[in-house]
Structure 1
Amino acid sequence: MSKTFFVKTVMTMSLLFSGIVMAEQKETLGDWDVHYSAFNSTSLSPAIATQYDLTRSASKGVINIAVLDKKTQKAQTPEVTGQVVNPLGQIQELDFQQVTEGDASYYLAQFEHSNAETLRFTIQVGEHQFKFNQEFWLND
């Protein structure tokens, strides 16, 4: 059953963000598996962007985070916060919205970026933290 839930969660996220190539990015934090992806908002269809109150713009990105129990793979709902820092040291706080659909739960936030800009993300999930860097380009 836990494998079914995980597959359902991944399928839901894939359908929501169809057209986006998402390589699995995962951090294990304590008893949680944290799956995440960051991408340009223009990859979203207009309908999906509207449904989740996200702005499609060449200079806006989206980060998507799902937190699963490491053993059961059931969705968890810890507090998720974070920030993004650009190469100039400018900080953007991430304003995550929690989305729950059936058994699936995930967090979405938007951020600004420039062309060919590598951003540093710091994500806090409950008491745990992870960091990653990712480069973004302006897309139409």
Structure 2
Amino acid sequence: MRRLFSFLLVACLSATALAADPIKGERKEVFGDVTVHYSTFISTFLQPDIAKSAELVRSKNQGVINISVMNAGKPSTAQVSGTVKDLTSQSVPLKFKQITEQGAIYYIAQYPVEQAETRTFTINVEAAGKSNSFSFNQELFPGE
């Protein structure tokens, strides 16, 4: 699980190179003491053993979104939900599952990626007694 933590942390921090939302240098949103880090990528970037341990499908047509919530600089539990919308405005709900390991808490979900396109993600995070939402765009390339 430590390898999963390391991979997800690197993926979360390095996803800016793939971002279709170039204005932000770091993929995070800050709501008072709560900071939400996020990244998304095609699941073939995961090593097979990491995907298996996280119970994720590794496929060129499956995306992964990773959310990390920090409260006052410490990992925090939260209720995370959201949707991903394609260019035709077809929306798919994201079903997040929590992964907890050695001082880290992550929320991951998978979604289909049929073709190269920019997707719009809308994420809702309930943490520290407050509910916050944000949206971002990500260009995705299946099969790569």
TM over 0.5: yes
Unaligned 5+ runs, structure 2 = 17-25
Residues 7-18 of structure 1: matches in 2 within 5 Å? Answer: 13-16=5-8
RMSD: 2.3
Structure 2 residue 142 is matched with structure 1 residue 138: yes
Read off the aligned partner of 1:122 and give its amino acid letter: T
Identity of aligned residues (%): 43
> 1:19, 1:75 → 2: CA distance?
17
Q: After superposing the two structures, state which structure 1 stretch, 111-120 or 74-83, moved more.
A: 111-120
After TM superposition, what 4+ stretches of structure 1 lie above 4 angstroms from structure 2?
16-21
Read off the aligned partner of 1:60 and give its amino acid letter: Q
Read off the aligned partner of 2:32 and give its amino acid letter: G
Report the equivalent of 2:33: 31
Q: Give CA-to-partner distance per residue, 1:68-127, whole Å, 9 cap, x none.
A: 01x3x1111110000001111211100000000021101000011122211110000011
Residues 54-133 of structure 1: matches in 2 within 5 Å? Answer: 54-69=56-71, 71=72, 73-126=73-126, 127-133=131-137
Please report the TM-score for the alignment, with normalisation by the length of structure 2. Answer: 0.81
Please report the TM-score for the alignment, with normalisation by the length of structure 1. Answer: 0.83
- How many residues align? The count is 129
> 1:47, 1:97 → 2: CA distance?
18
